[in-house]
Amino acid sequence: KQMIVAVNKMDSTEPKFSEDRFREIHKEVSAYVKKVGYNPAIVPILPISGFNGDNMMERSDKMPWWKKQKIERKSGSYEYETLFDVLDNIDPPSRPVNKPLRLPLQDVYKIGGIGTVPVGRVETGQIKPGMVVNFAPNGPTTEVKSVEMHHEALTEANPGDNVGFNVKNVSVKDLKRGFVTSDSKNDPAKEAENFLAQVIVLNH
């Protein structure tokens, strides 16, 4: 898990682009970050103004007090001045390709000339044309005819991919948002009486 804190609206502080106000927020945020289980030393906190683009792509000349910062972490250290610098140095997440397929449906469409097209994000495993899939908890079992992402046909879709896939002989009425797609031949998803979950409730 990685966190970035961009302190926005620096152009609205009093005075504008106030170092004192940023340091005050930095102190509060660092304490909160530590409280929720992150190491503040590896959480970049930087001042920005999204409206004017200050410290977004390029270092702003309106905050001469803001100097290049350094993050030391296990995967290697990096320096940053802008939000782009920080985003460019995020550690890529590990993709659980070798786990059984799990693809929760976000929606289901009926497309003329094609048929029923469920859409969703691959969470684990892979989905491929020709695969026989099951829709849990009580949906049908059917074959995947094709898989597409951004209107391009795929030979396989991996974790993190948002895809649409065409299925054979299934009506839109048979599938619902929230159904979980899995490979019928590799640990298909089943109903459970209970499960472990991490739930984060944000106060907003």
Burial 45-70 (b: 16+ CB within 10 A, else e): bbbbbeeeebbbeebbeebeebeeee
Instruction: List pLDDT tens digits, range 82-132.
Output: 999 999 999 988 889 999 999 999 999 999 888 999 999 999 999 999 999
CATH number of this structure's domain 5-89: 3.40.50.300
Residue in this structure with the two tokens 């899939």, named with its chain if needed: 133
Nearest to 135 by CA among 162, 98, 173, 99: 173
Residue 126: what are its φ and ψ, rounded to 5°? -140, 150
Q: Which residues neighbour 82 within 8 Å (Cβ) at sequence distance 6 or greater?
A: 46, 55, 56, 57, 58, 59
pLDDT of residue 198: 87
Cα–Cα dist 59/33, whole Å: 25
- CATH top-level class of 102-183: mainly beta
Per-residue pLDDT of the chain (204 residues), as tens digits, is 789 999 999 999 999 999 999 999 999 999 999 999 999 999 999 999 999 899 999 999 999 999 999 999 888 899 999 999 999 999 988 889 999 999 999 999 999 888 999 999 999 999 999 999 999 998 899 999 999 999 999 999 999 999 999 999 999 999 999 999 999 999 999 888 898 998 988 876
pTM: 0.67
CATH 3.40.50.300 in the chain, residue ranges:
5-89
CATH 2.40.30.10 in the chain, residue ranges:
102-183
pLDDT of residue 74: 87
